[in-house]
Structure 1
Amino acid sequence: MSGKLIVIDGLDGSGKSTQAKRVADALTQKGIKNMLISFPDYEKPSSALVKMYLSGAFSENANDVNAYAASSFYAVDRYASYMTVWRSFYEAGGVVIATRYVSSNAIHQMCKLPNTEWDSYLSWLSDFEYEKLGLPRPDRILFLDMPRDVADRLIESRYGGDMSKKDIHEKNTAYLRQCEQTAAYAAQKENWTVISCAQAGAPRPQEEITAELLEKIIGDLSC
């Protein structure tokens, strides 16, 4: 019996990793065994092409790297992780909490295409990762909706203003604005659960966001 796969995704600076860790810890405290995974899996060789891409090895401008090629870099990393890290746990009925997943390609790669091609890209992405590669479909995708101006301030505080620490996505504010549009489109088209993460121009308290996430997730686990 397959387990549950819950994805927490969002734009850069939305707090995905923080919230995924908080959710996993809360589930553990409730006696719900779970596994926390994150993509890209930078600790594994499977992320080599992703690291080359984000470091600017192919181009300093993310838009110069073909959307389908870049998507495949991330997809292969996910496939390797599934086959070697979490497949057995998931297939035995385990609860898997993923920071980023196939949804991240929709957010960060679809923006490189004209909006007239967005639907065909989403169809290709679903077929490629879920059907051709055989990755599990998530039971729910929770999208952390953090306004770009708030997220930008959080990214700046993360790196202490040191631009050299940013990847080619984080350095390109125009690209990140494009990602806002594709994220909103994919969230509506793919029925993601959108969690508002800011109020009055400031981030909501972490514990409030965690509580909202847990309410949705525990409801899924009880089904």
Structure 2
Amino acid sequence: MSKFLVIDGLDGSGKGSVTRMLRAYLTEKGIGNDLISFPMYENESSALVKLYLSGKLGQHPDDNNAYAASMLFAADRYVSFVTDWRKLYEKENSVLIADRYTTANAVHQLTKLPKEQWDGFLDWLFDFEYTKLGLPAPDHTFYIEMPPALCRRMIAKRAEETGRVVDIHEKDPTHLDGAYRSALYASEKLGWTRIASFRGEEPRPLKEVFEELLAKAGL
């Protein structure tokens, strides 16, 4: 089996850029690697996720409860695993990198629940995806940490530069604030490796963030 690494973080945190830097590094070193990104927008498996994120199931994230929304994202992972990336995971002497994974359900759905229900939800979530659905559990999970106020700045800048339409999570300030608190809780409880992509009120240079991840990944 491949070594399976997950990199997660709020939108705008630099997660995607660091993920691409890791893949470029592995390729340069001659280490076999593959990248999967969730949601898999280019795959039919993400059809339900697209309905949710576009607001067609409700304009506010809370219009769909934590369990219902989690099922939509889990379906994307399950269907794409069966039809597409299982063969990548089963490669020998390779590294499989996931840009978001089950971790994203913990970050974005946990915040919809009262805090006294968080542990129960996390137990259900990882049992459902890894045991009931049979999706592979990662060997190492990294969480790229950036406060929501700074994430919002980065999201706005990206949208202005690219014309990209923001989804219901990105445009809801209360959701990003809650997701940040959820991420800190989940990372502590579940043993994720947290890497700060900010210094004070500004983003850290991505090269620094990447080098810290590389050292902690043992690659």
TM-score category of the 2 structures, normalised to the smaller one: over 0.9
Aligned runs of 1:194-213 on 2, under 5 Å? 194-213=194-213
Consecutive aligned runs of 4 or more in structure 1 exceeding 6 Å deviation? 161-164
Q: Identity rate of aligned residues, in percent?
A: 49
Deviation (angstroms), 1:162:
9.5
Gaps of 5+ in 1: none
What is aligned with 2:121?
A: 121
What is aligned with 1:108?
A: 108
Q: Which amino acid aligns with 1:136?
A: P
In the alignment of these two chains, the number of paired residues is: 218
Q: Which amino acid aligns with 2:6?
A: V
TM-score, with structure 2 as normaliser: 0.95
TM-score, with structure 1 as normaliser: 0.94
Aligned runs of 1:14-163 on 2, under 5 Å? 14-93=13-92, 94-160=94-160
Distance change (3 Å), C-alpha of 1:33 and 1:179: same
Report Cα offsets for 1:124-178 as digits up to 9, x if no partner.
Answer: 0011000011011111110000111211110010011999811111111011111
Q: Which amino acid aligns with 2:147?
A: P
Deviation (angstroms), 1:200:
2.2
Query: Aligned partners of 1:89 and 1:48: how far apart in 2?
Result: 22
Query: Aligned partners of 1:199 and 1:54: how far apart in 2?
Result: 30
Contact map agreement 1:144 1:196 (CA 8 A) in 2: yes
Deviation (angstroms), 1:89:
2.5
Deviation (angstroms), 1:92:
2.6
Distance change (3 Å), C-alpha of 1:112 and 1:163: farther
Query: Aligned partners of 2:114 and 2:201: how far apart in 1?
Result: 30
Deviation (angstroms), 1:84:
2.3
Gaps of 5+ in 2: none
Is 1:192 equivalent to 2:192 in the alignment? yes
Deviation (angstroms), 1:179:
0.6
Report Cα offsets for 1:170-190 as digits up to 9, x if no partner.
Answer: 111011111111111000000
Contact map agreement 1:6 1:138 (CA 8 A) in 2: yes
Query: Aligned partners of 2:166 and 2:192: how far apart in 1?
Result: 28
Deviation (angstroms), 1:82:
1.6
Contact map agreement 1:163 1:171 (CA 8 A) in 2: no
Deviation (angstroms), 1:85:
2.2
Query: Aligned partners of 1:52 and 1:122: how far apart in 2?
Result: 24
Q: Which amino acid aligns with 2:180?
A: E
Query: Aligned partners of 1:177 and 1:160: how far apart in 2?
Result: 22
Q: Which amino acid aligns with 2:175?
A: Y
Q: Which amino acid aligns with 2:179?
A: C
Query: Aligned partners of 1:66 and 1:6: how far apart in 2?
Result: 28
